[in-house]
Structure 1
C-alpha cells in the first residue's frame, strides 16, 4: 500500500511545517532508524531440519531461481518462529519505545502494524500465518498470553492488539492485485523476494545441496555478495522441491557468528484455511482507530506504515540503487543511500533534554552514545551507528549515509561524495 498523498487543500505553510518536522525527526530518529530499517529485515527462526538430507533430482541455480519465480502458492497455513540478532545494546526496555517512534507510531494506536511489528526487530517470537488467495491473509503474533493479529479480508485490513484491546482499521485499493502488505517482510517468501532483487553481476548464486524443513523436501539456494565491504556474508534459502515456495531463509553476517536473520516454517500445510479464519469484528469496548485518522507524524503514513523516506526490505538494503527518495552511491551489495537532515548532525545532550525533557533526553543520549563511533575523513566528521547488518553515518553537518556495509565502506562512500 502506498503512503497517503498530501491533501490538495494543504497550504504552503503547512507543507513547510511538515517538511521541517520531518527533517527534525530524521535528525533525532536516524540513529534509531538503524533499528527501524533493520526491522525491515526481520526473519523467522528455522525449523529444526529432519535428520538426513533428501535425495532429489539435480538442479541448476538458474532452474531453482526459475522455480521460485514460477511458484504460485495461494493457500497455506502454518506456524513460524522469529528470532533476530542485530547485536544491539541492552537498553533495559527503552528500545521498544524508540522503535515505535522510529516507525512513526507516536500517539497512534498500539494496533497499528507499523508500530506493533517493529517488536520483531529483536528477540524470539512465534507467529501463525494463513492465506487464501490475494484477498485473504492473516498473521498473528503470540506473546505472553496476548495476541496481536493483522487480518486482510477483501478491502478491509484490521490490526488488533488484545493486550490493549485496540483495533486499527484501513482499507485496500480495490484494484490492488497483491493484497495487503505488512510494514516488514514476515515470511521466508517475502524475505527471499527482497533478497533476489539484489541478484546481479555483483552476486554469486549456487545450489548448496538439499534439506528437510517442516517435514518437506527442499533445495538450498546460496546467495553471496562478490563485493567486499558488505556486511552480508551469505543468504541461504530452502526452496520447497514441490511448490517452489521458500520455506526457510537465513542471513549470516560477513563478520561471522550467529545468523542475523533466520527464517523458516516449523509447520506448514497447503490446504485452504477455513473461511472463518479471516473474519474479524472489533470486540466490545475496543478502541478503534481508522487509518485515515492516524496522526500524520514523520515516517507514519496510514495503514501501510510505508514512507517515501524509508528503505524498504532487503531489496533496499542490498540494492539501494533501486530505492526511491534517496541519492545513492555505489552499486549492488555495497550501495549506500544518502539522506539530508537539513544541516544538523547528532543532537547534543542539552538539545535532547530541551526537546524531549530531561528524562527522555538523557535516556536517548545514553542510547546514542552506547553504540556510536566518532569518525572523520574528507567529508568532515561524524558518528557511525552500527548493528551487525545495517550501519549509518551521521555527519556533523547533517548528512546521513546508510547501508548494509561496513564502517570503513561508509566512510569511503562519504569521502567519494565530496
Structure 2
C-alpha cells in the first residue's frame, strides 16, 4: 500500500469526548483509553505505511481516537510478559526491587499467606518471562492467572468477591470488593496492586498515552499481525534527549481498537525493557465458570479484611503519637521537578546519607557493596552515588537527598546542582 501524504493535526478535534467515550471510560477493564486529548499530544502527522498486512491508511490522531472509542468489554486470551529492567543482583540471588518479610499490606501475615500475596506476585513480574491467562466480562468480572511450570497463581474478581490463590502453597487470600456508585455496582478490588490489575497491553497503552504531551512524538509506523489479528503500530518517542526511554510501540487491533501488544525499548538499545503482548485473544463472552472459585479441599484460607484490620490496629498502637506522613512532609517530602519524560522525583535528605566504604564494621561493608553497584559522582551539590537500571536511575547524595527518574545520570546531577 503506498504511503499517503500526511495531513495537519488541527485543534478542532474534541479529544474523543463523545458520549460513547464517556461510557467506555466508566469501566474498570474496558480497553478505552481515558484522558487522551490530541490537542495536548505532540502528534507528528503520519499514516500507516506499507507493510503486512495491507490496511487502509489511518493517521496517528485517528488511531488514538480509535483506541479511546473502543468499548470492548469481553475478552479472553493468553498474554506473554517479558521484563528486562537491568536490576542489579544482590547477594543470595535476589535483586533490587524484590522484597521479603512475612507481613504484607494485603493481610497475608504468614509464610503461606505471603506466598499468595498479590504484592509478592507483582514483584515476580518485574523480571524474566511469564505467561498470563486473562479473562474479562465487564467491570465486575476479571481473572488473571500467572502460569508457571510447577504451579499457577490466580486472581479472581467476581462481583463483590476477590480471591487470590497460589496452587504451589495451596493458599487462598479472600477479601470483599467495595461497591461504589448509586447502584452499588462496579465493585473494585481494593487489595490488588495496580501492576496485577493492569497486566494487559491495553492497560499499559492507556498509561503511556495519558503521559503523552508536547514532549512526545506520536506516529503510525506500519502494520503487523499480532495474535492472529491485523494491527496498526503506534510509535511513541520522547522528544527530550535526557530520557532513558527510546520508544514505545503499541500494536492496535485494526478492527476494534484494542491494544494487542506493548513494547518499551530503552534509548541504550538492546532487548525491550518491557514487552507485553497477546499470543492469542478471543473477544467472545468468556464462560461464567472462568470467574467462579471455591478453595480446594485442604487449602489454607486467609481472610484479608480481618488480617488487615488487625494489622492497622497494631500499626496505630506501635506508632501512637508519631506524625507519620506529616513528619515526612516537614522534612521536605516528595517533590517532582521537570515535566514529561524527564520528570525527576526528589526527596529531601535528613543529613545522613548512605554508608561509605571507608566506614568501619558493618557500615563499611555496606558501603563497599553500594560502591560495587553504584557510581560515585560529584558536583556543586557535593557528592553521592548513582544507581542505574536500563530505565530508571537514582542519585542519592551524601546528605541523603534522593533524585530519581527515567533520565540519564547527567540529568540527575544537573537537578541536584540546581537545587543547591
Matched residue, 1:412: 414
Identify which of 382, 393, 397 aligns with 1:391.
393
Identify which of 256, 263, 276 aligns with 1:263.
276
Matched residue, 1:245: 258
Distance of 1:255 and 1:157 partners within structure 2: 41
SS at match of 1:65: helix
- Bigger Rg, which one: 2
Q: Unaligned regions of 5+ residues in structure 2, if any?
A: 1-50, 316-324, 326-332
Matched residue, 1:29: none
- The alignment's TM-score, normalised by the length of structure 1, stands at 0.73
Matched residue, 2:119: 114
Measure how far apart 1:365 and its partner are.
6.8
Provide, for residues 14-71 of structure 1, a one-character-per-residue CA deviation record: whole Å limited to 9, x for no partner.
Answer: xxxxxxxxxxxxxxxxxxxxxxxxxxxxxxxxxxxxxx71111111111011111111
1:178–1:283 CA distance, 2 compared to 1 (3 A): closer
Distance of 1:382 and 1:102 partners within structure 2: 29
1:328–1:97 CA distance, 2 compared to 1 (3 A): closer
Distance of 1:226 and 1:371 partners within structure 2: 30
Tell me if the contact between 2:87 and 2:95 (Cα under 8 Å) persists in the aligned partners.
no
Measure how far apart 1:373 and its partner are.
1.0
1:145–1:101 CA distance, 2 compared to 1 (3 A): closer
Structure 1 vs Structure 2 CA RMSD: 2.9
Distance of 1:402 and 1:369 partners within structure 2: 18
Measure how far apart 1:117 and its partner are.
1.6
Tell me if the contact between 1:76 and 1:130 (Cα under 8 Å) persists in the aligned partners.
yes
Distance of 2:118 and 2:369 partners within structure 1: 25
Matched residue, 2:151: 146
1:352–1:269 CA distance, 2 compared to 1 (3 A): farther
SS at match of 2:390: coil
SS at match of 2:194: coil
Measure how far apart 1:352 and its partner are.
9.7
Matched residue, 1:183: 194
SS at match of 2:280: strand
Matched, 1:212 2:225: yes
Matched residue, 2:141: 136
Distance of 1:244 and 1:352 partners within structure 2: 59
Distance of 2:388 and 2:265 partners within structure 1: 16
Matched residue, 2:168: 163
Distance of 2:405 and 2:132 partners within structure 1: 28
Choose 216-225 or 165-174, whichever is displaced more: 165-174
Distance of 1:378 and 1:199 partners within structure 2: 33
Measure how far apart 1:224 and its partner are.
0.4
Matched residue, 2:210: 197
Matched residue, 1:335: 343
Distance of 1:138 and 1:352 partners within structure 2: 50
Distance of 1:92 and 1:126 partners within structure 2: 27
Distance of 2:410 and 2:289 partners within structure 1: 53
SS at match of 1:57: coil
More helix by share: 1
Matched residue, 1:74: 73
Measure how far apart 1:84 and its partner are.
0.8
Tell me if the contact between 1:113 and 1:183 (Cα under 8 Å) persists in the aligned partners.
no
Provide, for residues 384-413 of structure 1, a one-character-per-residue CA deviation record: whole Å limited to 9, x for no partner.
Answer: 111001111112212111111111111111
Provide, for residues 186-238 of structure 1, a one-character-per-residue CA deviation record: whole Å limited to 9, x for no partner.
Answer: 11111111111211110000010111100000000000000110000000000
1:166–1:103 CA distance, 2 compared to 1 (3 A): closer
- The alignment's TM-score, normalised by the length of structure 2, stands at 0.73
Measure how far apart 1:280 and its partner are.
1.4
Tell me if the contact between 2:233 and 2:250 (Cα under 8 Å) persists in the aligned partners.
yes
Tell me if the contact between 2:354 and 2:367 (Cα under 8 Å) persists in the aligned partners.
no
Tell me if the contact between 2:178 and 2:187 (Cα under 8 Å) persists in the aligned partners.
no
Measure how far apart 1:98 and its partner are.
5.7
SS at match of 1:121: coil
SS at match of 2:122: helix
1:128–1:327 CA distance, 2 compared to 1 (3 A): same
